[in-house]
Chains A and B, each alone.
Chain A
Amino acid sequence: MATQERKIPAPEANPETRPFWEAATAGRLLIGTCKACGKPHYYPRALCPFCGSDATEWVAASGRGAVYSYSVMRRLPVPYALAYVTLDEGVTMMTNIVDCNLDTIRVGQRVRLIFKPTEGGPPVPMFTPETS
């Protein structure tokens, strides 16, 4: 199945998420970590989802990971692959696998970060196979 570009609505930043989208615009993916319990989390947020501490901070992810699970949305004008990717930092995020033959995606496949433009907003983090 050939890959086409689909239109992606612009994400809306709010005060809590603005650093995330500013980093995305600069080509970096931020995840959250907690200085109190030490655990990384995603999506990033002001309060740690594990211990409730507000001592959270942003850290840049390496952009490397592996496909945890995926599903190809085929009944659309422009098919796409919805996926969970587990980053090497240990958190799993919902995203898309792009710029590849969607029939070749496999669970466990190594992927790397790539940003895709949106309609008038900051770009969104997606992933593509490391070999492509």
Chain B
Amino acid sequence: MPVLGAGEAVKHQMGGQVDLTYTGAVWSGPAAFTEAGVAPADIQYVSIYDSFTITVLITLEDLGFCPKGQGGKFVADGNLISGTGRLPFNTDGGGLCNNHPANRGGLTKVVEAVRQLRGEAHPKVQVKDCHLALAHGTGGSLGTRHGSATLIMERD
């Protein structure tokens, strides 16, 4: 599956300028989108590392899928539900239901994104004609120091 764009970043305590309202995705996301030449509105499926609820909410905002502070509303409005929402998300069940902690982290996110692009996801959650997907991983501890990685892939 061709990679269109990728970005990596680290965030830490920033010399004491601590701000818990954003993650390294504010840097890795734009790098990946710029390289790919696409915008968040173009993405048809996302896999986002989901260690905790707040991890997903902040990452959705940082990647530009909704305005800052609107992550909760974006999710509550059903946007992540495949078939009806505008941004189908973690259709493998995510970390809680499928693959954490035995296979935590980024690679499982890539696996499901590739399944979606190949049309090999579970029929109940397969995104119709999915050709552009994003996978995002977070490693470390969100509140102290972590690494962020964004991958945008396109089906041939």
Contact = CB atoms under 8 A, between A and B. Distances in A.
Interface of A: 31, 39-43, 48-50, 68-69, 84, 86, 90-94
B137 to A, nearest CB: 24
Contact of B15 (A69, A84, A91, A94): A91
Contacts, number: 32
B18 A84 contact: yes
25 contacts: A39-B15, A40-B16, A42-B13, A42-B15, A42-B16, A43-B13, A49-B14, A49-B15, A50-B15, A68-B18, A68-B20, A69-B20, A69-B143, A84-B18, A84-B20, A86-B18, A90-B16, A91-B16, A92-B13, A92-B16, A92-B17, A92-B18, A93-B16, A94-B13, A94-B144
Nearest to A91: B16
Size category, B interface:
under 10
A84 B43 CA distance: 36
B129 to A, nearest CB: 43
Nearest to A44: B16
B140 to A, nearest CB: 14
Given A40-B16, A91-B15, 18 more contacts: A41-B15, A41-B16, A42-B16, A43-B13, A48-B15, A50-B15, A68-B20, A69-B20, A84-B18, A86-B18, A90-B16, A91-B16, A91-B17, A92-B13, A92-B18, A93-B16, A94-B13, A94-B144
Kindly name the residue among A31, A42, A92, A93 whose own CB sees the greatest number of chain B CB atoms within 10 A. Answer: A92
Interface in B19-35: 20
